[in-house]
Amino acid sequence: MSNRIVAGVEPTSAGTRVIAWSAQRARERELPLLLASVIGGPIGVVGEGELLAETSQQVRDWLEGEAEKLRADGLSVETILLQGDPVAQLTQTAAGENMLVIGSDYRGPESGPVRGIRGIRIVAASAIPVVVIPDHDLDDRNGVIVGVDGSPVSSAAIAFAAAEADRLREPLIAVSVWTPLTARPRNSLVYPDDYMQALERTAEETLALSLAGLRQDYPDLEIQTRALPGYPSAVINELAATATLAVVGSHGRGAIARFLLGSISHEVLTRLSTATAVVR
């Protein structure tokens, strides 16, 4: 077992963003970086051997070219070219490493949701934290957002987010979202004040309990809390629009967990506001 940052990349604009983000984190953490690309495996059709060989060489040359640029700046970089299913190949290659970083085809709020599900399946299948980088500009941002719901996986997300915020010397913004019961269509239900106040108090208590002891662990860390009404994924993405990083926990479980995330983390990933880490 090593302690590398693994970047799943391809020669696209999203891949370039993943390399830049991963390299910066590797420098800051003083960790080696592994650039990994995946191409499809053979399926037994006529003529595929030559095509696979040509594609493999092109991608291998691209990987080595990107690695050489980073090595020139003193970063320890290795490359690997994999064949087969990207979900299996990347999660197996990254097993036991520090984190896995992948790209997304999401290009901002005007582009609609993420078009493919492969990245979400990679996040769901990974046993280590996965950071997903959207394909849009992330400059001039500040703060690390973390979603808090009082669960064990939320505690893991807080630990990850606090360590990142402390290392970056940026504020940690812990968010607990309270959502009133959904009324039926055309229902004129008005929520009682005491009900709304109780929901808000519960969210505030969840934050206080979840963050207890954090200031002792990180005495210089600025910690901000937000107990807000709304739907969790929408609130997190709205706050993350100006943040350096967002962190959420995944509640996916069971025999099909490798194909599913918890609903909130899934929804956050479909409309990425910033680099987003999913922690189990």
Q: What pLDDT does 254 receive?
A: 36
Q: Are 194 and 84 in a shared domain? A: no
Last residue of a domain, one of 75, 103, 131: 103
Q: Does 108 fall in a domain?
A: no
**The tokens of 56 are what?**
């493999």
Q: What pLDDT does 63 receive?
A: 98
Q: What pLDDT does 253 receive?
A: 43
Distance from C-alpha of 244 to C-alpha of 240, rounded to nearest angstrom: 8
Q: In what order do the strands lie in the sheet with 275-279?
A: 77-83, 33-39, 5-8, 99-103, 130-133, 275-279, 245-249, 144-147, 172-178, 223-229
Q: What pLDDT does 8 receive?
A: 97
**How many domains, in total, are found in the chain?**
2
Q: Does 88 fall in a domain?
A: yes
Q: What pLDDT does 52 receive?
A: 85
What's the average pLDDT block by block, 10 residues per block, for the chain (280 residues)?
88 94 95 95 64 91 98 97 93 96 75 63 92 91 96 94 96 93 56 85 95 94 96 93 95 43 78 91
Q: Are 91 and 171 in a shared domain? A: no
Question: Residue 178 is part of a domain; what is its CATH number?
Answer: 3.40.50.620
pTM tops 0.75, yes or no? yes
Q: Does 121 fall in a domain?
A: no
Q: Are 161 and 270 in a shared domain? A: yes
Question: Would you say 42 and 48 are in contact if contact means Cβ atoms under 8 Å apart?
Answer: yes
Q: Does 79 fall in a domain?
A: yes
Domain that holds residue 219: 139-280
| Residue whose structure tokens are 């055309």 | 186
Q: Are 231 and 175 in a shared domain? A: yes
Q: Does 123 fall in a domain?
A: no
Question: Would you say 35 and 67 are in contact if contact means Cβ atoms under 8 Å apart?
Answer: yes
Q: Does 127 fall in a domain?
A: no
Q: Does 265 fall in a domain?
A: yes
Q: Are 175 and 60 in a shared domain? A: no
Question: Would you say 263 and 252 are in contact if contact means Cβ atoms under 8 Å apart?
Answer: no
Distance from C-alpha of 115 to C-alpha of 108, rounded to nearest angstrom: 12
Q: Are 54 and 150 in a shared domain? A: no
